[in-house]
Amino acid sequence: MKDTPEMFWTGLSPDEARKALVNKDKSMRDKTMSLKEAVDTFIHDGDNVGIGGFVDIRQPVATTHEMVRHGFKDLTLSFQSGGMAIDYLGAAMMLNPDHFSIKRLELAYWAHEAFGLAPMFRYLAERSLIELEDWSNANMSARFKAGAMGLPFIPTRGPIAGDVAKSNRTKIIDCPFTNRPIALLPACHPDVAIIHVNAADKYGNCIVRGSDCTCAEISMASAHTIVTCEQLLSHETITSLPKDIAIPFLGVDAVIEVPYGAYPGACRRSYYYSKEHIADLHRRTSLMCKTENKDELQAYFDEYIFGVDDFSGFLEKIGVAELLKAKKLEAANCERLV
């Protein structure tokens, strides 16, 4: 076995995660509340936060805005590939680490594919302001899956050779069945998951369109889960599409209807990316990276996040034309009757 420092868990250990469920109220009850109430109730300083979506697909952007307004200290962020949700948290730390700080990232990728790099990542990493633990996408997805399955670890054929496995808590053993090396990944049990989905009922049964990403696994692995949804549906409607339910109510603690909750990222069937808005945030961030002048980035946050009460205030500032444009672009992808 690879010579590793002593094993540690971020978030809950497998045995703690099991214990947390034993006494939890699992009843099918109304879990709707405001996003502010959900963030106040379920997220705490020092938490390991599991973040849903994939790059700029269906990321829980509205929840990250609320988290930034609230302010948190020393969070660990766990995700496979992150885009705007991580950007907002990272930029908030750049602006005022006394109000909002990330202690540690467990990640596979933080950037935006066609929309470029995340300058926040370079800023925080190159100044050594956050602990890094690199994994691959399959690694992080499998770690959440192990958590969701109630297993302490899961084997993988992923990057067993190379430096990724040396950057993290992967353990390599000889497979007791084949005698070939195999990598084992420790489960990830976040304290809280933040997830955006297409639809949910008030109990937390969730429907996802397009990529499932790793949202169900993150929800089921976490001690608590905050779900925002494009659309709140009746329980009867949701259960009439039983094969579409990706996350059962058991894995959800708070349900909030937040249309455009992944904007300026995309949400299948509802809206496509707003690349101009993403580029604007990146431009302002890059400016701070280069000059340490935070004015433009601060102005963005003052206008769009601190200057509004909730995500509907943000959408007001975006305006109807932009929202309709994003909706129209996505309609072309899906070719469906609304």
Partner 1 sequence: MTVSKDYTAQEIIIVAGAKVLEDKKVVFVGTGLPMVASLLAKMTHAPSLIPVFEAGAVGPDLAVGLPVSVGDSKTFTSASFVKGLNSAFEMTQRGFADYGFIGGAEVDMYGNLNSTMIGDFPDGYQKPKIRLPGSGGASDMAASCEKTILIVPHDKRKFSAKLQYLTSPGHLDGSKDARWKAGMQGSGPYRLISTKGIFDFEEESHRMRLLQTFPGETKESIQAETGFELLFADNVTAFAPPTEEEVRLIREEIDPTGIFVKRA
- Interface residues with a second copy (CB under 8 A) are 1, 7, 13-15, 150-157, 169, 171, 173, 175-178, 180, 182, 184, 186-187, 208-209, 243-244
Residues 243-302 touching partner 1, rule: CB under 8 A, are: 243, 245, 248-250, 266, 268-269, 272-273, 275
Tell me the pairing of strands 245-247 and 192-200. Answer: unpaired
Residue closer to partner 1 (CB basis): 236 or 292: 236
Taking each helix axis as running N to C, give the angle between helix 61-70 and helix 311-318, from 0 to 180 degrees, rounded to the nearest 10.
Answer: 120
How far apart are the C-alpha atoms of 251 and 218, rounded to whole Å? 9
Element (H or E) spanning 238, and its range?
A: helix 235-239
Length of the chain: 338
Q: Where are the alpha helices (DSSP H) in 55-107?
A: 61-70, 84-95
| Single residue of 35, 39, 93, 220 touching partner 1 by CB under 8 A | 220
Q: Comparing C-alpha atoms, which of 271, 247, 248, 240 is closest to residue 258?
A: 271
Token pair of 127 as six digits: 């100044």
CA distance 68 to 58: 19
Site for partner 1 in 111-170 (CB under 8 A): 111, 113-115, 117-118, 121-122, 125-128, 131-132, 134-139, 141-142, 145, 147-151, 156-164, 166-167
3 makes contact, choosing from partner 1, a second copy, none, with CB < 5 to 8 Å by partner type, with none
Q: Compute CA distances 261 → 5, 84, 230, 247, 333, whole Å.
A: 40, 12, 7, 18, 19
Q: How far is the CB of 52 from partner 1 (least distance, A)?
A: 10
Report the alpha-carbon distance of residue 236 to residue 272 in Å, rounded: 29
Of 66 and 123, CB closest to partner 1: 123
Binding partner at 283 among a second copy, partner 1, none, C-beta below 5 to 8 Å by kind = none
Choose from a second copy, partner 1, none: what does 327 bind? Cβ within 5-8 Å by kind. none
- Judged by CB, which is closer to partner 1: 230, or 330? 330
- Report how many residues bind partner 1 under the rule CB under 8 A: 96
| 338 contact choice in a second copy, partner 1, none (CB below 5 to 8 Å, kind-dependent) | none
Binds partner 1 by CB under 8 A, chosen from 232, 239, 294, 298: 239
